[in-house]
């Protein structure tokens, strides 16, 4: 009975695989002797192709146990109703098939009364047949909705039980895109199964009936010829469709990966936008940002954050932005990068993005798929397309300065492709260290840091900031720690309600203020 699955849609195959292994009970089926370590190490073995064997039948029966939990359930009642409607529909279709031969008899006998009676019967049968087909489709749609609801709820219960969601997404990655399987594949599986239900119900009866009729008319030659043709057609279909099924399963996986990447962009939209480029303007080379009577408010609510701020950020004047939560520190950086527009006044970014200009390090680090080298040089891959020994030495040195020398061994090299999600593998501190490695590599004249060391110790923070200054960067930082003040010559304190004060760090005198704090 072993063989490929040429006739099943790929979503059904994927759904069966997932439902069969999604919980502890499923894991016991996957490993009959209860050795869960074999399951956890299964990702080290090559994935086998879907096959029509005992495993497949176990998975399919496991799903049926979820869809039909007991005889008195709603799904069972709908299925029995569909059975009755389908059988009645086949009886009507059989009667409709007899009408043409009866017409020949009536017309041959020139029986007007019989013709009228037969026509009336034909009209009634046609109406009844149309009604039964509509009712069949209606019940199938009800079953689809009910099956999808039942299977989705069962999957969610087990997905969030005992942190299975964490195991599947982080520790047990041989099952790809569980979210797609629970949402999209369940929908397709239930829709496909509901559309096939009436055909599966009636097929054994029609097969038995017409086999008998064929045998009664032609003897053994008729049934043997028909079933032989069926077997040969199945073998040919298997040979032609098997490669296509594997490609379709792979397509489903890639579709899930594609959607997941878009979800990552949605979640990390702001960090990614902070890396966008700005056009360079003809201005003095020692100036990065110029703000003139800037008033800033939250776009969605109109909450006033900053009022009438005049500020010039030039080379060598490191600026620290402090304040309580909700006073507009990160919002101020959004204005500097051009993500937000000021309510009043003008904000000019007077430098370019990249090594000769400014680089933003957002509060949440942003990483892409790819090698360790691609993480370090992002987003300037097209500027540094070729790797060389000199470039390798720079990256290795900056990894060491950021305290990530061991990451090279974990990835297997700078250009070794990895199949993991960087957000799952790296700790928050490691992600911030890798962001600083990227900053060291880009080596801009200005670095805008939004709480870029919040997950690191003050000792590590000191080393990273010291390296930035040693590399000649002018720093614009947002932070809460007083330990950051030693690296900045100016402190902009946001007090809320539009109030702010700009203080030179060398003294406590408030040089510029707007209504004070």
Backbone angles phi, psi at 225, to 5 degrees: -65, -45
**CA separation, residue 302 to residues 305, 337, 339, 497, 516 (Å):** 9, 20, 16, 11, 22
Each residue's pLDDT tens digit, 399-433: 999 999 999 889 888 888 887 888 888 999 999 99
More confident residue, 335 or 390: 335
More confident residue, 212 or 44: 212
Look at residue 350 and tell me whether its pLDDT is greater than 80.
yes
pLDDT of residue 50: 59
What is the rounded average pLDDT of the residues 189-200? 84
- Cross-strand pairs, 320: 477, 491
On whether the CB atoms of residues 475 and 488 are closer than 8 A, the answer is yes
- The rounded distance, in Å, linking the Cα atoms of 51 and 4 is 4
Q: Is 463 exposed, middle or buried (0-12, 13-18, 19+ CB in 10 A)?
A: middle
Q: Is 151 exposed, middle or buried (0-12, 13-18, 19+ CB in 10 A)?
A: buried
pLDDT of residue 40: 38
Q: Is 385 exposed, middle or buried (0-12, 13-18, 19+ CB in 10 A)?
A: exposed
Look at residue 21 and tell me whether its pLDDT is greater than 50.
no
- The rounded distance, in Å, linking the Cα atoms of 316 and 478 is 17
pLDDT of residue 297: 92
Tokens of 421: 């999600």
pLDDT of residue 400: 94
Question: Which overall architecture, per CATH, does domain 287-513 show?
Answer: 3-Layer(aba) Sandwich (3.40)
More confident residue, 234 or 471: 471
Look at residue 486 and tell me whether its pLDDT is greater than 70.
yes
Look at residue 493 and tell me whether its pLDDT is greater than 90.
yes
Q: How far is Cα of residue 211 from the mean position of the Cα atoms in its chain?
A: 49
Maximum average pLDDT range among 37-51, 227-241, 481-495:
481-495
On whether the CB atoms of residues 339 and 275 are closer than 8 A, the answer is no
pLDDT of residue 379: 78
pLDDT of residue 49: 60
Domain positions in the chain are 55-218, 287-513
pLDDT of residue 501: 93
Maximum average pLDDT range among 260-264, 386-390, 408-412:
408-412
Maximum average pLDDT range among 9-13, 19-23, 122-126:
122-126
End-to-end CA distance of the chain: give it in Å, rounded: 80
What 8-state DSSP symbol labels residue 402?
Answer: T
Look at residue 466 and tell me whether its pLDDT is greater than 70.
yes
Looking at 327-465, which runs of residues are DSSP E strands?
Answer: 344-349, 358-361, 446-450
- The rounded distance, in Å, linking the Cα atoms of 168 and 164 is 6
Mean pLDDT of the chain: 81
- The rounded distance, in Å, linking the Cα atoms of 384 and 379 is 10
SS3 511: strand
pLDDT of residue 384: 58
Each residue's pLDDT tens digit, 273-324: 777 654 444 465 688 899 999 999 998 888 999 999 999 999 999 999 999 9
**CA separation, residue 341 to residues 103, 282, 313 (Å):** 81, 21, 18
More confident residue, 469 or 58: 469
What is the rounded average pLDDT of the residues 156-160? 85
Banded model confidence at residue 146, pLDDT cuts 50, 70, 90:
very high
- Cross-strand pairs, 489: none
In this structure, how many other beta carbons lie within 10 angstroms of the beta carbon of residue 232?
10
pLDDT of residue 276: 63
Q: What is the pTM of this model?
A: 0.62
């Amino acid at each position: 009975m072993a063989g490929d699955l040429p006739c099943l849609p790929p979503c059904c195959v994927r759904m069966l695989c997932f439902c069969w292994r999604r919980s502890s009970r499923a894991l016991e089926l996957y490993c009959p002797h209860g050795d869960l370590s074999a399951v956890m190490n299964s990702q080290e073995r090559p994935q086998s192709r879907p096959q029509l064997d005992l495993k497949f039948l176990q998975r399919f029966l496991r799903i049926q146990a979820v869809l039909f939990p007991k005889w008195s359930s709603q799904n069972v009642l709908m299925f029995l109703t569909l059975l009755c409607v389908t059988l009645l529909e086949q009886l009507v279709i059989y009667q409709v098939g007899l009408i043409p031969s009866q017409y020949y008899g009536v017309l041959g006998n020139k029986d007007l009364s019989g013709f009228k009676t037969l026509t009336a019967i034909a009209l009634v049968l046609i109406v009844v047949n149309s009604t039964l087909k509509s009712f069949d489709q209606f019940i199938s749609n009800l079953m689809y909705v009910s099956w999808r609801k039942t299977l989705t709820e069962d999957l969610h219960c087990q997905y969030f039980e005992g942190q299975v969601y964490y195991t599947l997404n982080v520790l047990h990655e041989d099952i790809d895109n569980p979210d797609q399987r629970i949402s999209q594949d369940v929908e397709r599986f239930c829709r496909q199964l509901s559309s096939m239900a009436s055909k599966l119900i009636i097929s054994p009866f029609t097969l038995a009936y017409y086999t008998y009729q064929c045998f009664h008319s032609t003897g053994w030659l008729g049934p043997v010829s028909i079933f032989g043709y069926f077997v040969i057609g199945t073998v040919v279909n298997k040979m032609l469709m098997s490669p296509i099924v594997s490609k379709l399963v792979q397509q489903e996986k890639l579709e899930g990966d594609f959607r997941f990447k878009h979800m990552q962009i949605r979640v990390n939209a702001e960090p990614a936008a902070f890396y966008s480029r700005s056009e360079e303007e003809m201005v003095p080379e020692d100036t990065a940002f110029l703000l003139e009577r800037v008033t800033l408010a939250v776009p969605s609510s109109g909450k006033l954050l900053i009022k009438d701020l005049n500020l010039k950020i030039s080379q060598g004047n490191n600026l620290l932005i402090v304040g309580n939560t909700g006073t507009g520190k990160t919002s101020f950086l959004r204005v500097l990068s051009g993500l937000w527009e000021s309510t009043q006044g003008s904000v000019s970014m007077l430098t370019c993005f990249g090594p000769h200009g400014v680089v933003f390090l957002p509060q949440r680090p942003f990483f892409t798929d790819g090698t360790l080298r691609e993480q370090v040089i992002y987003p300037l891959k097209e500027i540094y397309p070729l790797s060389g020994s000199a470039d390798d030495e720079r990256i290795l040195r900056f990894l060491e300065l950021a305290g990530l020398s061991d990451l090279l061994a974990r990835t297997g090299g700078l250009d070794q492709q990895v199949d993991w999600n960087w957000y799952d593998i790296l700790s928050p501190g490691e992600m911030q260290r890798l962001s600083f490695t990227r900053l060291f590599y880009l080596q801009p004249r200005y670095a805008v840091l939004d709480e870029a060391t919040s997950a690191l110790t003050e000792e590590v923070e000191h080393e990273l900031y010291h390296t930035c200054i040693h590399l000649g960067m002018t720093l614009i930082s947002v932070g809460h720690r007083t330990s950051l003040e030693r690296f900045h010559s100016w402190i902009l304190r946001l007090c809320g309600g539009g109030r702010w004060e700009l203080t030179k760090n060398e003294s406590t005198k408030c040089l510029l203020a707007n209504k004070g704090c």
